[in-house]
Structure formats: C-alpha cells, structure tokens
Amino acid sequence: MTPTIAAISTPPGVGGIAVVRLSGPEAVAIAARHCRVADTPQQALFSTFRDGEEVIDEVVVTLFRAPHSYTGEDTVEISCHGSTYVQEAILNALVASGARLAEPGEFTRRAFLNGKLDLSQAEAVADLIDSTNAAQHRLAVSQLRGGYAQKLKELRTQLVELTSLLELELDFSQEDVEFVSRERLTRLVEEISLGVNALRKSFRMGNALKRGIPVAIVGRPNAGKSSLLNALLHDDRAIVSPVPGTTRDTIEETFVIDGTLFRIIDTAGLRESADEVERLGIERSRKAAEEADIILYVHDATQPFLHAIEDLAQLQDRISSFKEKHLFIVNNKMDLHPVNPTASYRTFPISAKNGTGLESLTESLAKAINRDRGQAPDVLLTNVRHLEALGYVDQALMHVARDLVDGLPADLVAIDLRDALHHLGTITGEVVTDEILGTIFSRFCIGK
C-alpha cells in the first residue's frame, strides 16, 4: 500500500498560522485519531487536536477526497497556530499514528504520478514558489496553467502522426506501399523543427526573465560605473574611489524595475594596463558585455566623447552579437559638466552622485525589455533541462530529414523519429526515470 505522508507545508518559523498536510490512503483515518474530520469533502471543520489526552491546539481541518485534491489522493490539511512547538507536536503525533515524513517535493511528485500535473507543470510549481517579482510570477503561472505543456503536446502529436505514417508503411512493407510522399514527410519534419527551434530561441528571453535581465556596466576607469551601480541599488555596494582601477573584478547585484528583475554587473574600467590582475578584470568586463542583454556604457561627461566612440568600436569588433543588444550611453557627471556634447548620439545625461536623470534611465530600461517581451512568443522556455532535451529533439529531426533525403527505408527513419519522441517525452513525463524525478523534486521544499 502507498504510504501516507505528512509534512509542515508552511515556511519554517513562527507565524500567525501554519499548515500541516497529510496525503495518502490513511490520511483521514490518521487525522481522525487526533481531531474531528468533516464527512463532506472540501469542507473545513473547527476542531481540537489532541495527542492522547493532551490538548495540542485548536485547529481547522480541511478534507479533500481523491481524486479532487492536489496530489490526487485523500488529503487532510490541518491549520494550526504558528508556534514551532505546536507544528512539531502535531507532525510528531501524526507520524506516531502511522504517517511517514514526506520527502522534499513528494506531494508534487505524487500529483505528477497521479496525473494531476505533467512534469513541466510540476517544475513550474517550484518556479512559482521561488518567484520574487511580477515577471517571474507571470512565467511560472503561465507554465503551471498549461500553456507551455499545450505547446509540447502539439509537437508530440505532430511527431506521433509522422511516426504512425511511417510505421503504417512497415506493416505493408511486403506490398511496397508508400502512404505519403517523401517530399510531404520532409515538409512535415521541417514544420515540427520550426516549432522546436522557436521554443529553443525563446530560452534567452525566458531565462533572462526568470534569472534577471543581465545588464553590464562598462566604461573607462573613473567614469562613475560603481557610482551608477550604487545609485541604482540605493546602497553603497561597490567601492568608489578617484584612484583608477579600483574595480578589478565584476560585482553582480539585482534590482527590480516595473516588476522585472534586472541582474546588473559592475565591471573593471576599459583601458590598457600592465597590471596582470587588472588585465584579467578588464577581460571579464568584455565577457560580461558579451553575455549581457543590455550594455550601459558610462562616459565621463568631463572628458572628450571620442573616448566613448573608440571604446564602443572596440566592443563591436570583439562581440559578434553587439548589434543585437540594447546599448545605453550614460553621460555621467552632468553635475560637473552640464552640457551634453553628443548631439549625434542618444545619451542619458545623469549624475550618479546626486541621482539626476536616473528615473529616465530606469524607465527606458524597462521599456526596452517590455518591447522585447511584446515581440516574444506567448510561450517562453525557461528550464535548462528542457533546453537540453529540445536540443536532442532537434538533432533527431535533423537525422530524419537527412534520412529522407538519402532515401533510407521507413524502418530506419522511424528509429530517429522515435528518438525525437523519447527526448520530448522526458520533458512532459511520458518518458521518465527515478533519476530524473529525483533530480527535479530534490529542489522542492519539504511539504510541497
């Protein structure tokens, strides 16, 4: 028999209330040994929780009957006062009565195994719990509600139909019947490949929204890069000094603008240096700019703008995707030099020292990302495991396309199609191993 599991489902510590959850075939019987449980499903009942003769707490007990529960099993949720002693006393009493302590993510794992969620939706539960801003929350809710799962289902249906056509030919191999032309099959493969690659391409935006939009602050020494970082964070995070080369390594922090998380990286000043440590820092600056979606080039407004033109030209030469990035030229120290000398360039005149112009800069950052998001597909890929699996699907489809061009028999083409189906199934859960499940659900908290 499947064991009945129990765990505290609210965060550790003291609070107004806490929830202890039971799930499994004996959930109702175990809970009933300690408190009253309603006869009607989805009903909450005020009761007293006892451990033997000892009164532990006054609680509210909610019953969910299978399959109409989160896990798909009989589930009892006990809402108690948020004392750590009370929580542990209730949990210990339930375990003593026959429940087993739940493992991390075991409630959601059971929801998946009982068909309440597919694997991609189960992973979205963890993302929803971890979300700290509006953009992350929207992504997780979209995946949990099945938008992403529906897209995967459509791809799988197309693959299954294609595989079925070929396997039908195998059933009539002796009659040498071709149910569909190889040209038609090739077009179908190309159509599926387009859908797979659209998802893969969406990963850059999806992952950036999930982890934070990467923003690299670059510029020459003493232009005010660290001052800009501190001003955006409203904190003295980076050391500010008039001595050139103070910042020798990247400093990374996050902040939220208009509900979107930005991951901002302060870098070493761009210049030629004989100092080995500083040269390593400058190389990291260029790498940060290469990996960023947004580049904030900070120019010292008291210096000739020719310096900025030279630096940007060098960055463009070194970064192949430079033109695909959002570039913001930040003209700093306008409190010292209030004239903007760059009429032919769009710049953001600011003073990191007194905060002038920062609001316009941050609004423009948010607008740039919102424009990108508006042009992005409705469904965004955010999971590295899924990206890897879709890469294998794409490779298998490339083999199928090559097989069709080479005129290989249907049985050999079907092998590569089944390979594509296998890798797609590892995302949704049609193909699953204990190792995959263990890896996924180990990142969940206990009680979820």
The pLDDT assigned to 161 comes to 86
Residue 360 CB-half CA count within 13 A: 14
* Cross-sheet strand order for the sheet of 5-8: 43-51, 54-64, 75-82, 15-23, 5-8, 100-101
pLDDT in tens, the chain (448 residues): 799 999 999 988 888 999 999 999 999 999 999 999 998 888 899 999 999 999 999 999 999 999 999 999 999 999 999 999 999 999 999 999 999 999 999 999 999 999 998 888 888 888 888 888 888 888 888 888 878 888 899 999 999 888 887 777 665 555 555 556 778 888 889 999 999 999 999 998 888 888 889 998 888 888 888 888 888 888 665 444 454 444 445 678 888 888 889 988 887 665 555 455 555 666 677 777 788 899 899 988 888 888 888 888 888 887 777 888 888 999 998 888 665 555 556 789 898 888 889 999 999 999 988 888 877 777 889 899 999 999 999 999 999 999 888 888 878 888 999 999 999 999 988 887 787 788 888 878 888 8
* Cross-sheet strand order for the sheet of 213-219: 251-257, 260-266, 213-219, 294-300, 326-332, 347-349
d(CA 351, CA 357) in angstroms, rounded, equals 7
Domain boundaries 124-202+383-441, CATH class = mainly alpha
Report the DSSP beta bridge partners of residue 8: 20
The pLDDT assigned to 243 comes to 45
The pLDDT assigned to 226 comes to 84
Q: How many residues does the chain have?
A: 448
Pairing of strands 15-23, 5-8: antiparallel
The listed CATH number (3.40.980.10, 3.30.1360.120, 3.50.50.60, 3.40.50.2000) that belongs to domain 5-102: 3.30.1360.120
Three-class SS state of 337:
coil
Domain boundaries defined on the chain:
5-102, 124-202+383-441, 211-375
- Straight-line distance from the first to the last Cα atom of the chain, in angstroms, rounded to the nearest whole number: 22
Per CATH, the homologous superfamily of domain 211-375 is P-loop containing nucleotide triphosphate hydrolases (3.40.50.300)
